[in-house]
Amino acid sequence: MPEFKYEINEKVALLSENGDYTCEANVITYGTGRPKLDIRKWNRAEDKMQKGITLNRAEAEALFDALKEFDFNLLG
């Protein structure tokens, strides 16, 4: 099985911290692919990741536009 490779190109934001894990938004390249916006939990050494979401540029821009109109009061 080929080795899983990724590179954190840029740290965008630390969203939260909980115990040994942080939730982060980063620009990451997986393998030889194009950079993507990646939101997921990492251990503090950043060598173990949990499930997350990756967005290409069009998806990230659509999310950004939607969040500009989002009513955050709906979250309580």
Domain boundaries, the chain: 6-71
Question: pTM to 2 decimals?
Answer: 0.85
List the structure tokens of 2: 């080929």
User: Could you count the other beta carbons within 10 Å of the beta carbon of residue 13?
Assistant: 10
For the stretch 2-48, pLDDT in tens is: 778 999 999 999 999 999 999 999 999 999 899 999 999 999 877 78
What CATH architecture applies to the domain 6-71? Answer: Roll (2.30)
Question: Identity (one letter) of the amino acid at 5?
Answer: K
Burial class from Cβ neighbours inside 10 Å (0-12, 13-18, 19+) for residue 42 reads: buried
For the stretch 42-60, pLDDT in tens is: 998 777 889 999 999 999 9
What SS3 state is found at 72?
Answer: helix
- CA–CA distances in Å: residue 20 to residues 7, 17, 28, 61: 21, 8, 21, 31
